[in-house]
């Protein structure tokens, strides 16, 4: 089989499938393993899920031997972890680096995939596991005049491996999502002058990052099975008990106390884990949003700057950011915030960025403008299923999957943490382990049954798409113009892509499908005719 991508998903898929006796090769376009953590080397890059949870749990030995140094792991530490995993489980011999998959075609006669690469190789395989990541197709800057710029420019997700020295330079950061919010304090500390170009202000929670002490790690390790179990059954793949009260079931004073406690604890769920109705009630959400707005006003000394930084949309419906000293950065004399709503960018010039109000003279521009999320990395590959239908055609009105794992008309192809699964709303590593385990067990079962092809039915897919939409529509999520909806990419269909029902519920549904003999899938052992007559319903 071919596994596309050598990040968290691809590495584990290789390990798991190989241990089941399959021959597998991983094709990876980077010149190292690590996926998102290989590419995103911008200053300040750090995960905002706690390190002890943002890691594999499949190996007791790995859990025993790896020591995380901080509560939130920085990119170099995560990358060393993944390099360690690749060595520790002897994965590298099946990983082919600098190999970019450009085209995949399902050969119906032979029930196999033909996989073509940019480097001119063709692979034939029975199964394909798409471990391409949700945030790996980079949104490229399309500003008029960029080619005229005489300074240097960088995209945070394609950061030079030997870093960038900003000392003594005039720098712009365009974009204030999770990436910009992490990079801005670090760049501000180096650059002579930093201009931050903000289109939409974002909520950000304090990381409250700190070193992890050996005793604390030992305690976590002792209880790790229970900790992980809680994460697996939770909504977001993190080991915190779910809230049990609505925001208005407590007094205003108690609500404030709980938000303050969350703020002191820090992290992405600082406020969202306080009450059950955070994502469903406008009024409940507003109480948390107002608390977060008030913190910005307290931190940022200039009231005009504070106002520009203050978001007014619902909190949490765009991905909440986590920062280390982000709002404080605007108190520095070398940092200027430019509000693109008041003065939009007109073009990039030879000397810098020109807005409707001014020209900002720059040595460097950092684009922190995000990704074509969730579908981009799959659609970047010309994937052709039954009858030559392309995935782009199949998804013309938005992504359609069964369980976020499989696509009808695209047999023997699995997607890890695809659209329609909790994926980006969860701790990705917990979701990745669950998907890879499910996929591996499924393929092993298909081998046992002698199946040559295995495919989601269009009925099951349609039912799942409806279910995903129905759940999302009961929340505030679809009201935000977020990348969850594809709203950051011009022309992309606006469909809420992740599954909001939570990791625990989702896991039960996947297990139930398998228990019922892979209900909603069909499979066949013989050559498949165009009419599909040889199919055997599972």
CB of 46 to ligand NAP, least distance (A): 5
Taking contact as CB under 6 A, which single stretch among the options 99-107, 108-116, 171-179, 184-192 is the one that binds ligand NAP? 171-179
Q: Does position 320 bind ligand NAP by CB under 6 A? A: no
Report the residue number, 175 or 419, with the smaller CB distance to ligand NAP.
Answer: 175
Report the residue number, 175 or 524, with the smaller CB distance to ligand NAP.
Answer: 175
Those residues with Cβ within 8 angstroms of residue 111's Cβ, 6 or more apart along the chain or in another chain? 126, 411, 412, 452, 453, 524, 527, 528
Dihedral sign (CA 287, 290, 296, 299): negative
Instruction: Specify whether the CB–CB gap between 196 and 186 falls below 8 A.
Output: no
User: Of these, 57, 178, 272, 427, which contacts ligand NAP (CB under 6 A)?
Assistant: 178
Report the residue number, 421 or 488, with the smaller CB distance to ligand NAP.
Answer: 488
Q: In what order do the strands lie in the sheet with 382-384?
A: 122-125, 112-117, 101-107, 382-384
Q: Does position 372 bind ligand NAP by CB under 6 A? A: no
Number of residues that bind ligand NAP (CB under 6 A): 24
Q: Does position 426 bind ligand NAP by CB under 6 A? A: no
For the stretch 375-378, contacts whose Cβ atoms lie closer than 8 Å and that sit 24 or more positions apart, written own/partner, are 375/399, 375/419, 375/486, 375/492, 375/497, 376/136, 376/137, 376/489, 377/5, 377/132, 377/133, 377/134, 377/136, 377/137, 378/130, 378/132, 378/415, 378/418
In the region spanning residues 17 to 56, those forming contacts with ligand NAP, defined by CB under 6 A, are: 46-48
Chain centroid to Cα 137, Å, comes to: 11
User: Of these, 368, 377, 415, 500, which contacts ligand NAP (CB under 6 A)?
Assistant: 368
Cα of first residue to Cα of last residue in the chain, in angstroms, is 22
User: Of these, 99, 440, 475, 488, which contacts ligand NAP (CB under 6 A)?
Assistant: 488
In the region spanning residues 511 to 530, those forming contacts with ligand NAP, defined by CB under 6 A, are: none
Taking contact as CB under 6 A, which single stretch among the options 105-113, 184-192, 282-290, 368-376 is the one that binds ligand NAP? 368-376
Taking contact as CB under 6 A, which single stretch among the options 115-123, 169-177, 358-366, 506-514 is the one that binds ligand NAP? 169-177
Q: Does position 424 bind ligand NAP by CB under 6 A? A: yes
Q: Does position 326 bind ligand NAP by CB under 6 A? A: no
Report the residue number, 151 or 526, with the smaller CB distance to ligand NAP.
Answer: 151
Q: In the block, which residue shows the tokens 């970019």? A: 100
Instruction: Specify whether the CB–CB gap between 359 and 148 falls below 8 A.
Output: no
Taking contact as CB under 6 A, which single stretch among the options 174-182, 255-263, 277-285, 403-411 is the one that binds ligand NAP? 174-182
DSSP 251: -
Report the residue number, 288 or 369, with the smaller CB distance to ligand NAP.
Answer: 369
* Secondary structure (3-state) at 511: helix
In the region spanning residues 77 to 136, those forming contacts with ligand NAP, defined by CB under 6 A, are: 135
Of 434, 404, 398, give the one whose Cα is nearest residue 421: 404
Q: In the block, which residue shows the tokens 């089941």? A: 20
Q: Does position 370 bind ligand NAP by CB under 6 A? A: yes
User: Of these, 176, 310, 431, 528, which contacts ligand NAP (CB under 6 A)?
Assistant: 176
Cα separation, 375 vs 115, whole angstroms: 19
Q: Does position 175 bind ligand NAP by CB under 6 A? A: yes
Report the residue number, 81 or 453, with the smaller CB distance to ligand NAP.
Answer: 81
In the region spanning residues 234 to 293, those forming contacts with ligand NAP, defined by CB under 6 A, are: none
Report the residue number, 91 or 345, with the smaller CB distance to ligand NAP.
Answer: 345
Q: Does position 369 bind ligand NAP by CB under 6 A? A: yes
Dihedral sign (CA 423, 425, 427, 431): negative
CB of 430 to ligand NAP, least distance (A): 14
Half-sphere exposure for 490 (CA within 13 Å, toward CB): 3
CB of 250 to ligand NAP, least distance (A): 30
CB of 315 to ligand NAP, least distance (A): 14
CB of 268 to ligand NAP, least distance (A): 8
- Residue number with the smallest Cβ distance to ligand NAP: 177
Of 502, 17, 517, give the one whose Cα is nearest residue 276: 502
Cα separation, 395 vs 380, whole angstroms: 13
Q: Does position 314 bind ligand NAP by CB under 6 A? A: no
Instruction: Specify whether the CB–CB gap between 283 and 248 falls below 8 A.
Output: yes
User: Of these, 319, 384, 452, 522, which contacts ligand NAP (CB under 6 A)?
Assistant: 319
Q: How many other C-beta atoms are found inside a 10 Å radius of the C-beta of residue 17?
A: 22
CB of 344 to ligand NAP, least distance (A): 8
Q: Does position 75 bind ligand NAP by CB under 6 A? A: no
* Secondary structure (3-state) at 391: helix
Instruction: Specify whether the CB–CB gap between 163 and 75 falls below 8 A.
Output: no
Chain centroid to Cα 282, Å, comes to: 26
User: Of these, 102, 200, 208, 281, which contacts ligand NAP (CB under 6 A)?
Assistant: 200
Chain centroid to Cα 72, Å, comes to: 16
CB of 267 to ligand NAP, least distance (A): 10
Half-sphere exposure for 131 (CA within 13 Å, toward CB): 35
Q: Does position 174 bind ligand NAP by CB under 6 A? A: yes
Q: Does position 340 bind ligand NAP by CB under 6 A? A: yes
Interacting residues with ligand NAP (CB under 6 A): 46-48, 135, 174-180, 182, 199-200, 319, 322, 340, 368-371, 424, 483, 488
């Amino acid at each position: 089989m071919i596994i596309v991508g050598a990040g968290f998903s691809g590495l584990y898929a290789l390990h798991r499938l190989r241990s089941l006796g399959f021959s597998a090769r991983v094709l990876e376009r980077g010149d190292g393993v690590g996926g998102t953590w290989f590419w995103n080397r911008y200053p300040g890059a750090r995960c905002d899920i706690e390190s002890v949870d943002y890691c594999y749990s499949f190996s007791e030995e790995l859990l025993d031997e790896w020591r995380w140094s901080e509560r939130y792991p920085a990119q170099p530490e995560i990358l060393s972890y993944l390099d360690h995993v690749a060595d520790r489980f002897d994965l590298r011999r099946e990983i082919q680096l600098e190999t970019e998959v450009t085209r995949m075609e399902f050969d119906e006669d032979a029930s196999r995939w033909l996989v073509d690469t940019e480097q001119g190789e063709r692979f034939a395989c029975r199964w394909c596991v798409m471990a391409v990541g949700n945030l790996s197709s980079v949104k490229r800057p399309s500003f008029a005049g960029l080619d005229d710029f005489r300074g240097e420019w960088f995209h945070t997700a394609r950061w030079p491996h030997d870093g960038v020295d900003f000392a003594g330079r005039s720098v712009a950061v365009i974009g204030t999502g999770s990436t910009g919010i992490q990079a801005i304090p670090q760049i501000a500390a180096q650059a002579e002058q930093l201009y931050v170009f903000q289109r939409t202000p974002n909520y950000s929670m304090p990381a409250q990052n700190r070193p992890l002490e050996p005793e604390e790690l030992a305690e976590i390790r002792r209880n790790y099975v229970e900790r992980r179990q809680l994460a697996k059954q939770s909504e977001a793949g993190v080991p915190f008990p779910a809230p049990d009260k609505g925001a208005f079931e407590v007094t205003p004073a108690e609500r404030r106390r709980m938000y303050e406690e969350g703020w002191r604890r820090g992290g992405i769920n600082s406020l969202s884990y306080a009450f059950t109705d955070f994502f469903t009630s406008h009024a409940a959400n507003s109480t948390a949003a107002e608390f977060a707005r008030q913190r910005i006003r307290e931190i940022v000394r200039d009231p005009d700057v504070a106002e520009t930084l203050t978001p007014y949309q619902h909190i949490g419906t765009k991905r909440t950011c986590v920062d280390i000293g982000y709002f404080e950065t605007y108190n520095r004399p070398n940092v200027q915030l430019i509000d693109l709503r008041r003065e939009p960018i007109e073009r990039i010039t030879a000397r810098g960025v020109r807005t409707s109000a001014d020209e900002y003279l720059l040595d460097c521009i950092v684009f922190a403008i995000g990704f074509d999320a969730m579908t981009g990395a799959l659609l970047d590959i010309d994937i052709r299923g039954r009858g030559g239908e392309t995935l782009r055609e199949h998804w013309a009105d938005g992504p359609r999957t069964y369980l976020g794992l499989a696509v009808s008309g695209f047999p023997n192809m699995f997607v890890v943490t695809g659209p329609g699964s909790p994926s980006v709303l969860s701790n990705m590593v917990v979701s990745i382990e669950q998907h890879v385990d499910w996929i591996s067990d499924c393929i092993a079962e298909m081998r046992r049954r002698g199946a040559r092809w295995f495919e989601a039915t269009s009925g099951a897919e349609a039912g799942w798409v409806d279910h995903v939409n129905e759940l999302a529509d009961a929340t505030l999520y679809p009201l935000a113009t977020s990348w969850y909806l594809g709203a950051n990419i011009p022309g992309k269909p606006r469909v809420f892509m992740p599954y909001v029902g939570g990791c625990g519920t989702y896991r039960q549904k996947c297990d139930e499908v398998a228990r019922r003999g892979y209900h909603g899938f069909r499979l066949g052992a013989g050559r498949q005719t165009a009419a599909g007559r040889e199919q055997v319903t599972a």
